[in-house]
Structure 1
């Protein structure tokens, strides 16, 4: 039996009547009382996820408004910074395991503070199940109170937390946020129930800021960050997100979703995933623990909750069972009569291995406050393979998947969500969380920006069924969720369409 059980933050209506939240608040206060260069401080842990200490614009720590009062001195020595800071994994197949280790390390720090204050020795991080029933889409009220029950300042209260409408009302909009990724069946790659690049993300090396997010990271993770933070809120940028105490409850829920997914599905067995980027000769995953201990861990060591001695009070899907559009259902919709066996559901296709570019727009476009509309010209000799595959669809001749890509998206702000439509049909929403770092020339991504992959197969199927697939172009509309300031520039390098051949 696990020693520690993580429970729903909305127990006792998400107030300080929930002892897990009250002890969390008090212990966060203990960690916040320590200096920036203390490896056991709140600020040090936030900097391990990401930090910006200099400059005059958000998310630089010296200009963040109100509470908490964020220090920028004294800095640790250079060796300590290089060892611990700026190591979070994004747009990477290491996203889930790195953050699991990060949560465990923070949890140990908080638990030690809880015990020192007279709290329970089995305290564990609660999770914010924003996809749960009733009011759970709202931030737990304990995070909006300025004071604790004893009248002292509430360490969970944050000034720079603005919400999806930038009015201070913090909640999660459903949709677009969903748990659709939980219907995936493979961690990396694609199959009939898993869109590229897979549940956990594309194969990468050490990736503090990368290019393409996995499906769990895309939705709900990235979308929740931006909706909670809002414009210039702590949660909206990776370099300030770890300063907000709600960050860890959000990631606790992401970790719970991964654990729930693992009940039926499997993580990679590739040695380079199991061993982590240290096998490439790159940075190891390392966390400071209480009593000046350093903990080095690998993704392979993060795969079993039992071995890590904790669990969750609920690992069931957070909503009613997902209505998965299986390959059999798709074939029936396309008029095929064959029955598909379950073995096809487990087929793994690597990113790009079976993909062909079938169309692109004229080039870079800039998104302003009113959005943009662009035309993707389809190359006839390649595009014809798509309707041909739909016409011949059967269990022995699988129909193509079709993807829309927004390539090399660059910008200076992360706090926005883009709504993408194809021929007036919704293709999906993408969060710009991580955009600023991915656009820096000196980052891991060499300034190439983010690339978003949207599965538009259902849209193409609908066009085919309605005899509207004899076309030479597709119209793509991109609308920002929030206003774009005049001095803020968001560009899309190219809008492209790919077909993915599904092989038996």
Structure 2
């Protein structure tokens, strides 16, 4: 058995393993380079170029598929969310939009930028408030659309934002947890694609949509299926794609549902591109852009040594343990009933070998170095069969053994494991309204509980606190869910 003491010993020495190769695609010199908008000067040419493209698309007739509203209609009619090819479909969508921008402003090397919403950099860049053509408030774009792909209700959002100028995402009590470096690092370090994309989509992705579009009852486009009417949408999804691209470049393997996207996208001339596939989105090298965080070279081989015999009394099973990355269920708990606004809903979960699971090591690809590294396993909760409520102006905080939990407890509290929200209208139809699984990494919260001497080895409480993000949410708004499964990943 690998004890906490022996794990600490493991982390003090190197690992005897095959040389690790950090792969980077061989990009052409002409590739578009997507840069970090959060660190650009307000006078950077990107902002004026992008504003020019946004204006040009607004001026196109409705018969032109490159028209601004027509590009948003692609999202509500064809987008995938809550499924395994969420990242795949959006990679195609954003890439074709980028090519349209480039053609309309006459700059072949134009590249979109990404909005890096991690910690102190997490405010919407100032030009999206200061430049009229980038400020969604200045455009009289009409949503007024219904698509069964999104849900049964008609989208009636407006040009508004719930987040204020210069307000960081980490200053919003309901959502701060999703944009902490520790949260994003735990997502980047997750080797299982289903959990990786579940954490990425369910937390920073969805919560940014809701914070920008729906906070304080704004009813802005970003909170709806017509979210791409807001110019910040495209930078938000560039950042989602960047995190996936870095995860891929670090040697992780993405799932491929082998889905086909017929007649969804249009090229720079406004012509249909035909069917695209989830398989075609897997290799970033087949696209014409790169991120400034991904080196276009191969970093050399690096190896470190470890005497495995020191840490495995049997001398023959440690490497197998280190390379085991398949998530394993270690416990579960049934739902005691639906979550309700401002009321704690606690699930008693029973687990086996929790302390051992927290102490066991796993191999993962370190986000900042792309080298194989070891750390204790991550403990992830899978909330199963979560249904979309009729009123979606709600954020649900997930806490662990929190004795002081109230609706005012902020999401950056150490006993908060994560937050999820409901990006899109309720209802049983469409990709966005049906029951879904939500993934929350409990590891850091569990360790905080353990440091206080309050963690038993056979169980703990997973507490849901649903908090309205706007006024007028009925007190009887129900969020049904089936239960919680605990995974060691």
**Pairwise same-fold verdict (TM > 0.5):** yes
Question: Secondary structure of the equivalent of 1:405?
Answer: strand
Q: 1:417 aligns with which of 370, 395, 404?
A: 395
Partner of 2:292: 313
Partner of 1:385: 352
Partner of 1:18: 44
Partner of 2:236: 250
- Shift in Å, 1:109: 0.9
- Which range moves more in the overlay, 356-365 or 86-95? 356-365
Partner of 2:79: 88
Q: 1:177 aligns with which of 179, 192, 203?
A: 179
- Which range moves more in the overlay, 482-491 or 88-97? 482-491
Indicate conservation of the 8 Å contact 1:109/1:290, yes or no: yes
1:380-416 residue CA offsets vs partner (Å, 9 max, x unmatched): xxx3634586699799xx9894626264232234444
Cα separation, 2, equivalents of 1:375 and 1:157: 40
Indicate conservation of the 8 Å contact 2:398/2:462, yes or no: no
1:130 maps onto 2:117 in alignment? yes
- Shift in Å, 1:185: 4.3
Cα separation, 2, equivalents of 1:42 and 1:304: 28
1:39-65 residue CA offsets vs partner (Å, 9 max, x unmatched): 111101111111xxxxxxxxxxxxxxx
- Shift in Å, 1:475: 6.3
Partner of 2:415: 426
Partner of 1:7: 35
| Residues 427 and 108 of structure 1, relative CA distance in 2, 3 Å threshold | same
- Shift in Å, 1:144: 0.6
Question: Secondary structure of the equivalent of 2:429?
Answer: coil
Instruction: Give the aligned length.
Output: 389
**1:21-60 map, 5 Å:** 21-50=47-76
Partner of 2:161: 162
Q: 1:376 aligns with which of 341, 347, 364?
A: 347
Cα separation, 1, equivalents of 2:472 and 2:424: 16
Q: 2:129 aligns with which of 138, 144, 161?
A: 144
Indicate conservation of the 8 Å contact 1:172/1:228, yes or no: no
Indicate conservation of the 8 Å contact 1:25/1:156, yes or no: no
Question: Secondary structure of the equivalent of 1:364?
Answer: coil
**1:46-445 map, 5 Å:** 46-50=72-76, 86-115=77-106, 120-131=107-118, 136-145=121-130, 147=132, 154-158=133-137, 160-164=159-163, 170-173=167-170, 174-178=176-180, 179-188=184-193, 197-200=194-197, 214-229=198-213, 230=215, 231-268=217-254, 272-273=256-257, 276-278=258-260, 283-284=261-262, 286-295=264-273, 296-315=275-294, 344=321, 346-349=323-326, 354-355=328-329, 358-367=332-341, 371-377=342-348, 383=350, 385-386=352-353, 401=379, 403=381, 405=383, 407-424=385-402, 426-436=415-425, 439-444=426-431
1:447-488 residue CA offsets vs partner (Å, 9 max, x unmatched): 534442323355556666736527887362404162451448
1:250-309 residue CA offsets vs partner (Å, 9 max, x unmatched): 1111111222222213233x6x53xx323xxxx537311133422232233223333312
- Which range moves more in the overlay, 24-33 or 256-265? 256-265
* Aligned alpha-carbon RMSD (Å): 3.7
Cα separation, 1, equivalents of 2:358 and 2:208: 39
Q: Which runs of 5+ in 1 are unaligned?
A: 51-85, 148-153, 189-196, 201-213, 317-331
- Shift in Å, 1:431: 3.0
Indicate conservation of the 8 Å contact 1:405/1:452, yes or no: yes
| Residues 45 and 345 of structure 1, relative CA distance in 2, 3 Å threshold | farther
Indicate conservation of the 8 Å contact 2:116/2:122, yes or no: yes
Flag the structure with more relative contact order, 1 or 2, with Cα contacts below 8 A and sequence separation at least 6: 2
1:496 maps onto 2:463 in alignment? no
Question: Secondary structure of the equivalent of 1:431?
Answer: strand
Cα separation, 2, equivalents of 1:390 and 1:10: 38
Question: Secondary structure of the equivalent of 1:250?
Answer: helix
Question: Secondary structure of the equivalent of 2:137?
Answer: coil
Indicate conservation of the 8 Å contact 2:88/2:281, yes or no: yes
Question: Secondary structure of the equivalent of 2:78?
Answer: coil
| Residues 357 and 249 of structure 1, relative CA distance in 2, 3 Å threshold | same
Cα separation, 2, equivalents of 1:185 and 1:409: 25
Question: Secondary structure of the equivalent of 2:418?
Answer: strand
- Shift in Å, 1:239: 1.2
- Shift in Å, 1:215: 1.9
Partner of 1:191: none
Cα separation, 2, equivalents of 1:462 and 1:172: 23
